[in-house]
Amino acid sequence: MKTITVIPPTAHIIVGGNKSFVAKTLDQFNHAISAIVTWASSNTSVGTIDSTGKFTALEKGTTTITAANGTINGSASITVMVPTSTCKDKNHIENNHRQFKEKKEKKHIEDEEDQEDEGELEDENNED
């Protein structure tokens, strides 16, 4: 084996998220070969990577993951971020949802009233 390339080479992941990485192993002729690699994270408090290449983001920060076979290795840089939503954003979303439901309920009531009015008109027309 000549080289190991980790794909993707960089990633941005939200705390609590996961991302799968692949180790592409090549021989001296740049032909893909099958090889077993060992995965590692340089900062396990930021995130860990399992034997299949699945990275789990634990806390905000940066880490480098490495796929190695003997003395040959490849790496990828990972930035773990905190979600940008705030309580204010959450309240805004909840308020919008509540307003939407209220409008929907109001429209439903108006539709029922319109149907009742149409029914009364039909009754009046049938009496004539």
Q: Residue 87 pLDDT > 50, yes or no? A: no
Given a cut of 90, whether residue 90 has pLDDT beyond it is no
Quickly tell me which residue has 């634990």 as its tokens.
58
Residue 99 has pLDDT above 50, yes or no: yes
pLDDT of 78 higher than 90 = yes
**What secondary structure does DSSP assign to 74-119, as a single string?**
EEEEEEEE-----HHHHHHHHHHHHHHHHHHHHHHHHHHHHHHHHH
pTM attached to this predicted model? 0.65
